[in-house]
């Protein structure tokens, strides 16, 4: 039973996405990844695909802004609606925000987001 419950960690690529989708996890948690995903790679970071099992829960952290912005060398922020639209197949449950911050001339807001299938 312990072996069945072991964490599955992998670098995001086609093979690891296929394996993660086939695994049909009950709970998907993505920490400190979303903020570093370049807009050209946002489709590859497909959290809805990983949350395919009925009843599955997705929790991840992100950075919100009024419009898409690059706020650091490797930091990206998006409006909340971007996440809701991107994960439209999932039910939006909550957004728990931290106080807004000023970074590189942009106002950004750290957030923990939760969605359910």
From the list 77, 94, 8, the residue with the least C-alpha distance to 42 is 77
Q: How far apart are CA 50 and CA 56, in angstroms?
A: 9
Q: Measured on CA atoms in the order 86, 116, 107, 104, is the torsion positive or negative?
A: negative
pLDDT in tens, 92-105: 999 999 999 999 89
Q: How much is the pLDDT for 89? A: 92
Domain parsing of the chain, residue ranges: 3-116
Q: What pLDDT score does 113 carry?
A: 98
- Report the pLDDT value the prediction gives residue 78, as an integer from 0 to 100: 97
Condensed to tens digits (0 to 9), the pLDDT of residues 21-64 reads 998 999 999 999 999 999 998 888 889 998 999 999 999 999 99
Burial-class residue 40 by CB neighbours within 10 Å (0-12, 13-18, 19+).
exposed
For 3-116, CATH gives 3.40.50.150
């Amino acid at each position: 039973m312990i072996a069945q419950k072991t964490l599955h960690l992998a670098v995001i690529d086609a093979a690891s996405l296929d394996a993660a989708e086939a695994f049909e996890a009950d709970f998907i948690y993505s920490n400190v990844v979303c903020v570093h995903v370049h807009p050209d790679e946002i489709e590859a970071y497909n959290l809805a695909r990983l949350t395919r099992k009925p009843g599955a829960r997705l929790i991840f952290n992100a950075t919100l802004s009024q419009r898409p912005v690059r706020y650091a060398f490797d930091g990206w922020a998006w409006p909340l609606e971007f996440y809701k639209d991107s994960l439209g197949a999932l039910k939006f449950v909550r957004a728990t925000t931290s106080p807004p911050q000023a970074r590189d001339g942009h106002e950004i807001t750290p957030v923990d987001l939760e969605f359910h299938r």
